[in-house]
Every structure is written in C-alpha cells, then in structure tokens.
Structure 1
Amino acid sequence: MLSKEREEKVIALCQELIRAESYSGQEDEVAEALKRNFQALGFDDIIIDGYGNIIGHIKGNKPGKKILFDGHIDTVPVTNPNEWIYPPFGGEIHDEKIYGRGASDMKGAVAAMVCAAANFAEDCNKDFAGDIYVAGVVHEECFEGIAARSISERVKPDYVVIGEASELNIKIGQRGRGEIIIETFGKPCHSANPEKGINAVYKMAQVIEAIRTLKPTHHEVLGDGILELTDIKSSPYPGASVVPEYCRATYDRRLLVGETKESVLAPITELLEEMMKKDPQLKVKASYSIGKEMCYTGNVIEGERFFPGWLYDEKEEFVQAVYGEIKAMGFNPSITQYNFCTNGSHYAGEANIKTLGIGPSKENLAHTVNEYIEIKQLTSVTQCYYGVMKALLK
C-alpha cells in the first residue's frame, strides 16, 4: 500500500498534468510541469530533446541495467467541451475518479511512473544497480514510435515499460500499423464528354474491389493482418463538371510479427501490376504514407507510417520476473497483448529492446468524452511500477 502522503502526491501530479493542455505539437506546458516535478523529487538529470521529449533520470549507486518507463504526454483534441460533465482540463475528482482529457491516455500512467521512480530511489537511498529513466514522449497520437527513436538512441535502455492502459495486466505484444496509400491517375476532360478522358475514381473502384480479394496474413496469437479502407479523395475537388484525373485511397494495415515494409506491399503491388497488364488505361501505385508534424520546439518530426508489430513469449525471464514481483505484491495480472499500437512498435519492433506494457485504467476510455481514471487504478499502478523496478534492477 502507498502511504497517504504518496497517494496524495500521485493524485496531485495526475491532476497537474491533466490541467496542462497538450495536444500533439503543443506539449510544452506539460513538459514544464514534468520538469518541475523531476527537480522537486530529486531526479539526477533532466533532458529535453529536439522533438520536445522530456526524460528524467535517476542513477543508482552501482552499475547495472537501464530501465525506461515510456509514457506519451500528447493527447487527442477535445472537440466539444460542452459534451463533458466536468471540465476536460479541470482534473476534477468525482466518485473516486479523476476526470479530464488524457486521464487514462495517458497522464495518469506518467504521473505514476514519476512518483514510483522517486519512491523507489528514496526507499533504497539510490542504493540499486542501474539507471531509471522516465520519458514523457511527444507526438505519439500522430505516429507511434517516431519520437521514441531519439529516446532509445540517447538512453540505450535494456528494458522498456510502456504505460498504456491495461487495467494492471502485463502486455507482451501488439499488432503494428501501416498506412498504405493507393493512387490512380486518369485523364481530365469535361464531364459532358466523359469518353474523352479517363475517370480516376472509376479506376480506383476497380482497384478497391480487387484489393478486397487479397487473403489477410495471420498469426496464431495476434490474429489477422487486417487491410481496411479508411478514406478516399478525388481531384480536382469539387469537380465542377470535370472528370477527376486523380484519386487517392488510404488503407489501414494491421501488422503482424516479422512483417516488413517490403513483405506487406508485395502482394498489393503484384495485384496492381497484373491489373495494369490487363487494362492499358489503368495507372496505379501503392506506397506508405509519410507523416510530418511540427514540434513545440520548432523542429519538424516526420517518418513513414509503418510501425512494426512485436510479441514476446510469456516465459521470457524478464516477463516472469515482473509477473512474480507484482503477484507477490498482491496483484493478479494476466499476461496478454495490446489491441492497439503503442511506442513499443519502435522499442520492441524496430530496436529489439525487451519491452512490456503495464498501465492503469481501461483501454476503451482513451479518446472518449468524459475520460477519467479511477484513483484506485492510479495508486495501484504506482505500486506496480515500483515492483517492476525491484524485479529488473536487482
């Protein structure tokens, strides 16, 4: 159990972070709040990198493993504050819940990570082997894992703990995500004489139907490598009596372990090439979407939208060490996988760093109106993070 003082501290920090509005690219206020708290709690070093990620560091008295706690500090926007029963940036407490945008996704977890690290260091007087890092990560809601690359490059952690919501269960994998762009190129003409042009939307309609015949890849644990159409746009728009010369469709592809950029595009490209052989008027190509956003530091962050899947065996030593410690503390976690994409796409999927997830609250509260976190979940995950440090920094 947390002491009353420590309970109050993590609750207050969660409220402070919620009150610092931090849409993607506007995380400066919440980064400053974290900096103040890192300083007040005796962290040894504080780094803010070019993207605006903030990293707090506590150094043990003996050399050992490095553990990184990863929590993103950006949130999705609040579209209509009037729909909320309590102010979305108020951090108000009602019925043992803290309400506000980011409460579950994921400022509660970030507050718990900060407090757990400080509690652990205080209790052992920093007499532990290794280093503890707590990272407040920017732009995760735009693209998972891109900003995390600069963190792992700097810290070079041995273990990463993702704080996304899991109701205190241990997550050892996830499907990844790719955003695939299909483009068709036609020939414009007046819509009164359509035979003189090539309608790119009609060509796209044929392509869409053909893509639906592709059989999804499958993994016995993670499920299907889903490929789903999410939007379609034509040009010129609005048409104004012009046959569209261009059409662009976006597909969401859920990625399985071991799938690469090349292996995912290969069956689509092969299908499109076959279609073009049969139809000389069809010009179509497939590629990955490129994300590009402005950071609050003034720097640009960009990258292809391809975020790999990852999965560890639950018998892995580091997984069992954390599971055993948390069980011994009186919790009863399941070992499962996330249903959504996280920064683990970089740490585990790209960098092959031993990664697991454990977070407070329910997954389905993210991005919702009246988002909240239960105080019991918040204080419990603070204890769990303490247990993770005990398990991995022996």
Structure 2
Amino acid sequence: MPATDPADLTARLIRCPSVTPHEGGALTLLQPILEMAGFTCTRIERGAVSNLFARWGEKSANRRFGFNGHTDVVPPGNPEDWRFDPFSGTIAEGRLWGRGACDMKSGVAAFVAAAVDFVTETPPEDGAVILTITGDEEGDSIDGTTAILDWMATEGESMTHCLVGEPTCPQVMGEMIKHGRRGSMTATITARGLQGHSAYPHRARNPLPALVALLDRLARHELDRGNGNFDPSTLALTTIDTGNTASNVIPAQARAVLNIRFNDGHTGESLTAWLQQETEAAAAQSGIALELSARVSGESFVTEPGPFTELVAQAVKAECGVTPELSTSGGTSDARFIKDHCPVVEFGLVGQSMHQTDEHVEISHIHTLKAVYTRVLQGYFGQNRPG
C-alpha cells in the first residue's frame, strides 16, 4: 500500500470551504480514509457543529495515544485580495496556498497520514490510536473538542496522552513545542448614568469619567512578573463604546471590554473576584452604577517536562535538526480542554501566515511534520515509552 501523501491530503482539505461552523466536506473527506485503514469512526454532532472521533484498536487497550486538531477555518476575507483562490489548494513556489493551509489543515493531514500508515505497516500490540477532529476551534469552542470529550466520557473512551497539531513554531520548523498555555478571560464593564445636554453637565450623570478611571487603574495594575513556566500575565483593553453619535449629548451608558491572559499564579475565579472588587469600589466612589460580567474561556496549565515531552522533543530534533524549546507562549488552543482528560502537548508548523491573506505552508514542512508524528507513534508504542 503506497504511503499516504500529507501534502495532497492538505490540498484536498483546503478545497473544502469549512468556515466555522460549517463542515464543508472536510470530515466527510477524512472519514473513509480512516475507515479503510481500520479506524472506527463516529460523527459527533452538537449545535451547528460536526466533529469526528476515530479509533484504531480497542478502547480497553493499555496505551491509547491521541491526536487532536480542527478542520474549521476563519473566513478568507475578500478573495480578490488573494494571489490564488483561498479554497483552491494551489501549489506554487514550493508552497501550498489557501485558507487553512497553515492553521491547521496541514496538521490534521499530517497526523491522519502518519496514523494511517503507522497502523497499516506496524500495528501496535495492546495499543490504540485515537484522532479527535473538531469543526469548532475557530468559533466559540463550545460544541467542538468539548463535545467530543463529553461523548468520550459517556462512551468510556479515553486517551492516555494527546498531541495537538496546532502551529507552534514562530519562524523555524521544529523550534518550539507548547507544553502549556496561559488562561484567557474576557470581562465587560457597563457604566450607567443619566443622559443630558453637554452644556448642562450638572443635570446629567456622566458614566464616562468613572468608567475611564476604573479602566486606567486596571490597565496599570501589575498582575504578576511571570515565573519559570510563564511570561507575566497581561490585561488589554479592547474596546470602549457609548453608541453616542452626538457631540453635545452626555451618554446614559458606556461599555468597555477587556481581555486577560493569565499564568498559573491566578485562576479565572480569582481574577473575576479582583475585577468585581475593583468595580464595586469604583461605583461606591463615583456614585455611578458599574456592572461586571466575565467569561473564562480557559484556565492556564502546564504539562510538566518528563518522558512524554522528551519523546516529542526527540522526534522533532531527529526530523527537523533543531532542539525545540518548551514554551507556554501565544494564545489559547483546544489543549485547554484536553488537559483535564490526559497529559497534552502541542507541536505543529511555522505559524507566520495563519489567519492572513495568502495563507500558505511549505510543502516540505508538511512531509516533515508527518515524519515527526510517525516518530512519536513509533516511540510511544516502542521500547522507550513515556510513563
């Protein structure tokens, strides 16, 4: 049986217009490929999202290695701004072009190709290979990997370790493995006063000064200075809105949104409590009604260095010729959900073009990524296995 070509599979996936939350034919393309290799596949539908769970081997196997990734993509924007049609999967200049080429249809194609060839050529004894592929990573992430994990819990399915195929390398293929992520939360603060004429401010209660003063205090507060695993936590103001189109009217209401990326010195709960305390103090001092709402999209986590991280690092070094750095930098990924299920790390391509116009990937890097994933599988089910 010929080896599965991950670059060709990536191109075919790019031609599936799977903009969140639409499946776009991507999972429909992958399922028969996996079933022909002996994987048992289950489509998991929740809300408007389609997901795919695939397992080779018995769910009672002693070791159950998992890969996780997503086939949904962000919108391409104006197609006329692209060199090639964003859903054409065009090959030019040694690169594969299209929406999702980098983030992360190439990663999915690489681990599908690696898994298919591995179980076909060297099927592990008392082992299972599990693929969890979601269509909701770029969206609200409510009905994607979380839906798969919920279904797995109900069905008695589990992974012993998992590798997420997100792009992890800033500039050089192989330079970085993500072994953790900062937490993320978004807070909205609404200030309510009394509308009035700007020439008679004493007849109004302007909510803006109180809100701005609170935001300035929050933005200048040092959350922490980082630690051995994480950079300092950050708080960014992302918008302040009044909906006021008149220059001579004091608005009755103003709204601000901020985002916090936090390390393991905090939790979503502790930060929400801090924000609530600051908001209540500002309301008491100003006499303006201030209301906080907060949503935590993920807690921080670290997979401690050990046999599992070393296994992945050795595979990366062998195929890329680079000793990878263990990092917790960047945004969030679905690893934030998997970390409650089993130990998880992330390794994938160079991510410079993700979400951009003319998104692309080096074709040679796709093949290298498949080789890394193959080495991981060989090592995991071989003699030097992580505990």
Give the TM-score normalised by the residue count of structure 1: 0.86
1:59 Cα deviation after fit: 1.2
1:103 Cα deviation after fit: 0.3
Conservation of the 8 A alpha-carbon contact between 1:64 and 1:393: no
Structure 2 unpaired stretches of 5+? 383-387
Counting aligned pairs with the same residue, the percent is: 23
Please list, as runs of the form range in 1=range in 2, the aligned pairs for 1:271-290 lying within 5 A after superposition: 271-279=278-286, 281-288=287-294
Q: 1:231 matched to which residue of 2? A: 239
Q: 1:291 matched to which residue of 2? A: none
Question: Which residue among 343, 349, 367 is the counterpart of 1:379?
Answer: 367
Question: Which residue among 316, 327, 330 is the counterpart of 1:339?
Answer: 330
Q: 2:357 matched to which residue of 1? A: 369
Conservation of the 8 A alpha-carbon contact between 1:176 and 1:307: yes
Conservation of the 8 A alpha-carbon contact between 1:170 and 1:333: no
Q: 1:20 matched to which residue of 2? A: 16
Conservation of the 8 A alpha-carbon contact between 2:159 and 2:342: yes
Deviating more after overlay: 36-45 vs 168-177: 36-45
1:261 Cα deviation after fit: 1.9
Deviating more after overlay: 25-34 vs 372-381: 25-34
Please list, as runs of the form range in 1=range in 2, the aligned pairs for 1:12-161 lying within 5 A after superposition: 12-50=8-46, 51-59=49-57, 63-124=61-122, 126-143=123-140, 147-153=144-150, 154=152, 155-161=157-163
Conservation of the 8 A alpha-carbon contact between 1:310 and 1:344: no
Shift in alpha-carbon separation, 1:335–1:213, aligned structure 2, 3 A = closer
Q: For the residues of structure 1 that align with 2:198 and 2:7, how far apart are their CA atoms? A: 62
Q: For the residues of structure 2 that align with 1:78 and 1:181, how far apart are their CA atoms? A: 28
AA matched with 2:35? Q
1:23 Cα deviation after fit: 1.3
1:336 Cα deviation after fit: 2.0
Q: CA RMSD in A?
A: 2.4
Q: For the residues of structure 1 that align with 2:346 and 2:94, how far apart are their CA atoms? A: 25
1:90 Cα deviation after fit: 0.7
1:232 Cα deviation after fit: 1.7
1:85 Cα deviation after fit: 1.2
Q: Which SS does the other structure have where 1:134 is aligned? A: strand
AA matched with 1:381? L
Q: Which SS does the other structure have where 1:52 is aligned? A: strand
Q: For the residues of structure 2 that align with 1:148 and 1:211, how far apart are their CA atoms? A: 33
Q: For the residues of structure 2 that align with 1:311 and 1:219, how far apart are their CA atoms? A: 14
AA matched with 1:354? P
Q: 2:344 matched to which residue of 1? A: 355
1:326 Cα deviation after fit: 4.4
Conservation of the 8 A alpha-carbon contact between 1:61 and 1:128: no
Structure 1 unpaired stretches of 5+? 289-303
Shift in alpha-carbon separation, 1:262–1:212, aligned structure 2, 3 A = same
Q: How many positions carry a matched residue from both structures?
A: 368
AA matched with 2:342? I
Give the TM-score normalised by the residue count of structure 2: 0.87
Q: 2:385 matched to which residue of 1? A: none
Conservation of the 8 A alpha-carbon contact between 1:146 and 1:346: no
Q: Deviations over 1:156-177 (max 9, x none)?
A: 3221111111233422122221
1:259 Cα deviation after fit: 2.5
1:134 Cα deviation after fit: 1.4
Shift in alpha-carbon separation, 1:37–1:191, aligned structure 2, 3 A = farther
Shift in alpha-carbon separation, 1:354–1:24, aligned structure 2, 3 A = same
Conservation of the 8 A alpha-carbon contact between 1:325 and 1:390: no
Q: For the residues of structure 2 that align with 1:332 and 1:247, how far apart are their CA atoms? A: 51
Q: Which SS does the other structure have where 2:61 is aligned? A: strand
Whether 1:260 and 2:264 are equivalent positions in the alignment is no
Deviating more after overlay: 338-347 vs 316-325: 316-325
Q: 1:207 matched to which residue of 2? A: 214
